[in-house]
Structure 1
Amino acid sequence: MPIEAVVFDIGNVLIEWQPERYYDRVLGEERRRAMFTEVDLHGMNDLVDQGHHFTDTIYDWAEKYPEWRDEIRMWHDKWIELATPAISHSVRLQRALRAKKIPVFALTNFGVQNFDYATTIYPFLNEFDRQYVSGRMKTVKPHAPIYEMVEADCGLPPSSLLFADDRIENIETARARGWQTHHFTDPQGWADRLVEEGLLTPDEAK
């Protein structure tokens, strides 16, 4: 079936999301490893993605580990330094698709408050035709309900959606529902796929 909309994940597709890299820089790798072994920071972030309040969740988590309180709070206070930089080639692809009137959606595991903050830093996050943000939807990838909600909202057949995500488990759920998928490893591979599908020309995909 022809592709009627292109769906972008955000973390590590449009914006680099590498918290360990930030903490390696500010704490050093050895101290970072010790903290991440003791504190389930990604589990904390999963709660935010599920719709728990960004500030309250992280600050409450910090109080559970007083020896790491300041470092855990950095996840909130320095959050934009964890979620950086933008992946410029992917942003160009997003804009090239929209310039050709091809609907472009976001489907992302992202908290409510930090997504709203990110839109003030990264203007391209405001340029989607539809935003599907897990924190608002109270369900996350790779679980089926979030994909069902996208299908119901956009009204398009699953087979007409082309979805790019860096996490294979998110791709597998979409594929099982009949979506067309692309496992994102780098923006050039994504560009090549969009050209292969006839959505962009090679020049448009640069």
Structure 2
Amino acid sequence: MSSVEIRHIVFDIGKVLIHYDPDIPFSRIIPDEAERKWFFANVCTHDWNIEQDRGRDWREAEDQLIAEHPTHEESIRAFRKHWHEMVPHAYVECVSIMECLIAKGYDVTLLTNFASDTFKEAQKLYPFLTLPRGVTVSAEAGLIKPDVAIYQTHAEAFGLDPSATLFIDDNMVNVEGARAAGWHAVLFTDPQTLKADLLAYGVNV
């Protein structure tokens, strides 16, 4: 067991607390698998989507792509239109862990790469996202993980002691970003592993 005293626990959201998969609506919108893979690799790419997480307006993002790929306008606009289908369920065991930590008196906050409007939509779909003390949404901060600055911004906003902070994220580069900011961090893979990782830091749920 670690000798570190963890007082602050920071959760990522997508693929830690709620599921995210653009293929869910797009398997209907673009039924051909090869065509769908091409679309995500060349049109609505990860790099394109992450700019909305950085704060770019959806309409601007759509117009840019439509100018480049005019024959795909309907599919491009479908990305935002059907976003709610991409987040179909919560990870119930992980939400339970978060709620248990809050009940035990740990200081729990959220740090997420998320567009501002879709985050507000997610809070309506999943009210447990309002339970932690607060959240840093990348689009509102104008910064995205794994930029060290977003972890520093979050720590300053919520008065976190980095050496007493544990971050949970499903992406290793984001875990490494947190560590570069002086936080402790673990890679999320499944609820049982998360419980073991928390226990290794002296946090029992």
TM-score normalised by structure 1 residue count: 0.90
Match for residue 23 of structure 1 among 22, 26, 31: 26
Structural RMSD (CA): 1.7
- Please report how far the alpha carbon of residue 21 of structure 1 lies from its aligned counterpart in structure 2 after TM superposition: 4.4
**What is the total number of aligned residue pairs between the two structures?**
200
Q: What one-letter code is carried by the residue in structure 2 that aligns with 1:176?
A: A
1:3-82 alignment, distance < 5 Å: 3-28=6-31, 29-54=33-58, 56-64=59-67, 65-82=69-86
Q: What one-letter code is carried by the residue in structure 2 that aligns with 1:82?
A: M
What is the match of residue 127 of structure 2?
Answer: 123
Q: What one-letter code is carried by the residue in structure 2 that aligns with 1:45?
A: N
What is the match of residue 165 of structure 1?
Answer: 169
SS of residue matched to 2:111: strand
Alignment of 1:112 with 2:139, yes or no, is no
Asked whether the 8 Å contact 1:51–1:111 carries over to 2, the reply is yes
Identity between Structure 1 and Structure 2 (%): 34
Asked whether the 8 Å contact 1:48–1:57 carries over to 2, the reply is no
Asked whether the 8 Å contact 1:62–1:70 carries over to 2, the reply is no
Range that drifts further, 84-93 or 58-67: 58-67
Deviations 1:81-138 (A, max 9, x none): 1122211111111111111111111010001111011111011111111101101101
Distance 1:116-1:134 versus aligned 2 partners, 3 A rule? same
Range that drifts further, 129-138 or 56-65: 56-65
TM-score normalised by structure 2 residue count: 0.90
Runs (5+) with no aligned partner, structure 2: none
Alignment of 1:90 with 2:101, yes or no, is no
Runs (5+) with no aligned partner, structure 1: 202-206
Distance 1:6 1:15 in 2: 17
Deviations 1:129-149 (A, max 9, x none): 110110110101001110111
Asked whether the 8 Å contact 1:16–1:83 carries over to 2, the reply is yes
- Please report how far the alpha carbon of residue 40 of structure 1 lies from its aligned counterpart in structure 2 after TM superposition: 4.1
Distance 1:16 1:72 in 2: 21
